[in-house]
């Protein structure tokens, strides 16, 4: 199963509880339940029908990564986070679902305690997978160029506050915007930088951890990150 849309099967005895407290929802064949990038704040239980899970490839075409069958609960990560949908979901036939929000989830969890435990285990596993994919997806040159630029700026200014025009940075170090941002997210996770903020989508702003910047600068040069 692809982790972009987490899901797991429910027992028949639990489905009636979802019917009682959730909201019925139907999607006709060929229609989308939601799109990649939509706000993620609800989960769904597939009652009848079939759904395709799709993501956009590098050519902006939709690529099938999974199929969802009846009794599958999916999209539940949206109940715990305020993020966006990481994939699109489209019905391949007329489909019936039960929609639940966070308040409904709490009610159902009181009736079926194992549901919340399964969801939390899935969330933990998914976050671990995402972190590993993030680290592996960034090549050495991108990480090196980004950290060297931050290190040089810090040493020249002796200030932990970093705020610069995003396009100026990309022009200077000659790397792709998305790869640069992914590297910043990784550095924030490693606590090399903190309070990362994309100001008005034009400026990058963060603080540099002066206690770690030297350590990770040399780790980058040695290829240890």
Torsion angles phi and psi, residue 62, rounded to 5: -80, 135
- Distance, in Å, from the CA atom of 108 to the CA atom of 111, rounded to the nearest integer, reads 5
State the pLDDT confidence band at 214, using cuts at 50, 70 and 90.
confident
- Distance, in Å, from the CA atom of 90 to the CA atom of 92, rounded to the nearest integer, reads 6
State the pLDDT confidence band at 89, using cuts at 50, 70 and 90.
very high
- Distance, in Å, from the CA atom of 56 to the CA atom of 64, rounded to the nearest integer, reads 9
Compute the average pLDDT of residues 94-103: 94
Which residue has 């790397």 as its token pair?
Answer: 175
- How many other CB atoms are there within 10 angstroms of residue 6's CB atom? 21
**Domains along the chain with CATH numbers:** 12-111 (2.60.120.10), 138-222 (1.10.10.10)
Give residue-wise pLDDT tens across range 137-170: 567 778 888 888 998 898 888 889 999 999 999 9
Indicate the pTM of the whole model.
0.54
DSSP secondary structure string for all residues of 148-204: HHHHHHHHHH--SEEEEEHHHHHHHHT--HHHHHHHHHHHHHTTSEEEEEEETTTEE
DSSP 29: T
pLDDT at res. 132: 58
Exposure string over 206-220, b if 16+ CB within 10 A, otherwise e: bebbeebbeebbebb
State the pLDDT confidence band at 4, using cuts at 50, 70 and 90.
very low
Percent of the chain with pLDDT over 70: 81
> Contact, 45 vs 18, CB < 8 A?
yes
Torsion angles phi and psi, residue 16, rounded to 5: -65, -30
């Amino acid at each position: 199963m692809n982790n972009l849309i987490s899901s797991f099967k429910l027992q028949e005895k639990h489905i009636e509880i979802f019917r009682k407290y959730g909201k019925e929802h139907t999607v006709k064949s060929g229609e989308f339940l939601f799109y990649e990038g939509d706000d993620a704040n609800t989960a769904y239980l597939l009652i009848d029908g079939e759904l395709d899970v799709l993501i956009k490839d590098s050519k902006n075409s939709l690529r099938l990564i999974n199929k969802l069958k009846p009794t599958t609960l999916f999209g539940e990560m949206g109940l715990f986070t305020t993020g966006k949908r990481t994939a699109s979901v489209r019905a391949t036939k007329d489909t019936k679902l039960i929609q639940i929000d966070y308040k409904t989830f709490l009610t159902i969890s009181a009736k079926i305690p194992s549901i919340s435990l399964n969801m939390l285990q899935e969330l933990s596993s998914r976050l671990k997978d995402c972190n590993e994919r993030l680290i592996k997806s960034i090549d050495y040159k991108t990480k090196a160029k980004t950290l060297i630029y931050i290190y040089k700026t810090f040493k020249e200014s002796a200030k932990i506050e970093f705020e610069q025009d995003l396009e100026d940075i990309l022009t200077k170090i000659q790397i792709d915007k998305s790869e640069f941002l992914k590297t910043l997210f990784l550095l924030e996770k490693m606590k090399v930088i903190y309070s990362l903020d994309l100001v008005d989508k034009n400026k990058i702003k963060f603080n540099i951890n002066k206690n770690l910047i030297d350590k990770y600068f040399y780790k980058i040069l040695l290829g240890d990150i």
